[in-house]
Amino acid sequence: MASRVFDELPEEIVYLLKQEQYVTVSTINQKNSTPDIHAVSWVYASSSRMLRFAVDARASVMKNLRAAPGMAMTVIGGGTTYSIAGRGKILTTEVNGISFPLAIIEVEVVEVKDVMFYGSRMISGPVFEKTYDLEAADELDNKVLEAMKKTQ
């Protein structure tokens, strides 16, 4: 069965990406032309055609996006797995109030594919837990979310 293809994020994914969510971000490593995969939880869908994510500005995803803005994000939710293809644009590499160089990347959604294999359904999404100071983690998460919403 062929994958379902959309030109924007389905409603359930926009909803999912307005809260903390585990996703993977794929860029191309220019040195060896191979995929470079990053696990990310700071992600925010500002609309069905635009989303943002945040990473440490020293991460290899930054070098990769500067060389080639094409990227993909994998999201598990709504009972399936989605591959979101887009073009990443680095909005900033420094956010006031964050103690490390934080980059915010905006992604123009080009194509969304339901890539779940035939005859199956995801019954739960990926679950993770923070393994450091939970109060500090909540404070940082809130600051990053606000920065993703406000950065121009």
- Roughly how many angstroms between the first and final C-alpha of the chain, as a whole number? 41
Does the pLDDT at position 1 exceed 70? no
Kind and range of the H or E element at 73?
strand 70-77
In angstroms and rounded to an integer, the radius of gyration of the C-alpha atoms of the chain is: 15
Q: Report d(CA 29, CA 68) in Å as an integer.
A: 9
Query: What pTM was computed for the model?
Result: 0.93
Kind and range of the H or E element at 89?
strand 80-92
Q: Report d(CA 108, CA 127) in Å as an integer.
A: 26
Cα atoms found within 13 Å of the Cα of residue 132, Cβ hemisphere only: 6
Does the pLDDT at position 132 exceed 70? yes
How confident is residue 4, by pLDDT bands cut at 50, 70 and 90? confident
pLDDT, tens digit, for every residue of 44-66? 999 999 999 999 999 999 999 99
Does the pLDDT at position 15 exceed 80? yes
How confident is residue 2, by pLDDT bands cut at 50, 70 and 90? low
Q: Distance from CA of residue 134 to its chain's centroid?
A: 22
Q: Report d(CA 120, CA 5) in Å as an integer.
A: 17
pLDDT (0 to 100) of residue 152 = 86
Q: Report d(CA 68, CA 53) in Å as an integer.
A: 17
Does the pLDDT at position 3 exceed 80? no
pLDDT, tens digit, for every residue of 72-131? 999 999 999 999 999 999 999 999 999 999 999 999 999 999 999 999 999 998 999 999
Q: Report d(CA 149, CA 147) in Å as an integer.
A: 5
The full set of domains in the chain, from first to last, is 5-150 (2.30.110.10)
What are phi and psi for residue 113, nearest 5 degrees?
Answer: -120, 135
